[in-house]
Amino acid sequence: MNINPENLRFIMGFKLKQFRIEKGLSLSELAEKTSLSVSYLSEIEKGKKYPKPEKILQLAQALEVPFDDLVSLQVSREADLLPVILSSPVIKEFPFRMYGVSPQDLLALITGDTEKAGALIRTFLEIGRDYDMRVEHLLFAALRSYQQMHLNYFEEIENAAAEFAAGNGWKTNPAIPAENLQQFLVEKHGLQIDESSLRSYPELQEVRSVRIDGKAPKLLIKNELLPAQKAFIFAREIAYRHLELKERTPVFPSAAMGSFEQLLNDFKASYFAGALLLKRDLLCRDFEAFFKRDRWDGNAFLALIERYGVTPKTFLYRLSQLLPQFFGLRDIFFFRFNNAAGSERYSLARMFNLSRMAIPNGVGMKEHYCRRWMAIKLLKQVAEQPAGRPNAILIAPQRSRFLDSGVEVFSITLAGASPLEKDLNLSGTVSFIVNEHFKKTVGFWDDPAIPRAEVNETCERCGLSEEACRDRAVPPTFFQKQQEQKNRDKILNQLIQNIKQG
């Protein structure tokens, strides 16, 4: 175990409380025996303070235990989980304070009932092992929760991006060319832009940029990136400087994670980039006008993306930040699918859910997502496109009703071939639950030209027959097991009732 001062305080506090309870003493009684205040003893037990040697001696004498037993790092067999917890990467990195929980609260849980707390924590550890859940999964879940708590809208970063744009004469510009952002980094921060070095490393195909610090800092950037992708990377680099974010990931996108602080800073940098490229006030005005239409117009939607000079992915995700805050469309969720050309496998690459819909998040998901979703349909169309149109963007709306819950959603989906990765197709979807507020806000919500479909989460969980659903990818194995269990429960109840009545 890594013995840092905080861990020493926790172990001392844990042992003091255990010895006190074993002796049947209250804090007041121990305070009277040692001439130490109740508040001071309480802070020791909570792991906030570590007493001086002379005070440890007073405690040892009052508790009738050897001095070494109090200062030793050894704990009782019942508390053998404490060192594991204190050295756990989850405890070290998980942002408990974000939820109003401190390490002292965890210590209080353990010392309150060691046996039960140990069983609870071991249960979570076992679940994590069984489902191959790593620390990264928990930290990403914590970040999503942080976003949800703020409705995915962060006023401070929005204002910082708006002030930066105004200070550089970009406040009224819908689009900021990548060249302008690059020039700012070179002239203001002395950053050297290298667009050739990454070509020599084919193993780093998925890496778009690498930041290398030093006397002459460099930004290695993939030459094949679209101007919109370069603009986003340059805007992220500006964000780290402008927001004074020290701890960061030098590689984008990153496959490794150091800490939650790093993850949060990377998120803030990306948020700033989106806010700079898709200015809050301009985009809200544009969507106020767009939502007033009484008929869906996909070309008008695509024109907005082109107007701001960003990628479809960045545009859709930006909507998940602004529409809940300024249009009251809070039951919203965003997801992205990847599909290798020629494959029938569709992978959920990203999911962000502000609604109450229970959508599978894709971590460890082995099931087949419903083929009736427009996201899947458009990816199939992209795969069927002629080779001469690799960069054509398809767009389509859909009104979907989930069979099990009856909830209806309105979705806007964009799909196309990846501009960077060969034989990879991508789709992005922003969806809204159709409630009364959505109907009042979006004029085209009931456009009769918009296709409708009954959908489910996955084929495995869907009870539709083969005749009712020609799009099914695999049999409804999960649904069948549920039905079998319900039938067994029904027969068992009948058996019990017959015995009682007989």
Query: Which H or E run includes 426?
Result: strand 424-433
- Is 74 a residue whose pLDDT tops 70? no
Residues in CB range of 38: below 8 A, 6 or more apart: 27, 28, 31
pTM summary value: 0.78
Of 139 and 396, the structure prediction assigns the larger pLDDT to 396
Q: How far apart are CA 278 and CA 310, in angstroms?
A: 8
Give the pLDDT band (50/70/90) at residue 1. Answer: very low
What is the CATH topology of the domain spanning 149-277?
Arc Repressor Mutant, subunit A (1.10.10)
Strand pairing of 424-433 and 332-340? Answer: antiparallel
What is the CATH topology of the domain spanning 5-133?
434 Repressor (Amino-terminal Domain) (1.10.260)
Looking at residue 364, its pLDDT comes to 42
* Domain range annotation of the chain: 5-133, 149-277, 280-483
Region 268-278: what's the mean pLDDT? 97
Exposure class string for 459-489: b at 16+ Cβ within 10 A, else e: bbbbebeeeebeebbeebeebeeeeeeeeee
- Is 266 a residue whose pLDDT tops 70? yes
Q: How far apart are CA 90 and CA 138, in angstroms?
A: 8
Region 482-488: what's the mean pLDDT? 92
Mean pLDDT rounded to a whole number for the chain = 85
263 touches 252 (CB < 8 A): no
Among the residues of 365-476, which ranges form H helices? Answer: 374-383, 436-441
pLDDT tens for 288-345 read 999 999 999 999 999 999 999 999 999 999 999 999 999 999 999 998 999 998 888 8
Looking at residue 134, its pLDDT comes to 63
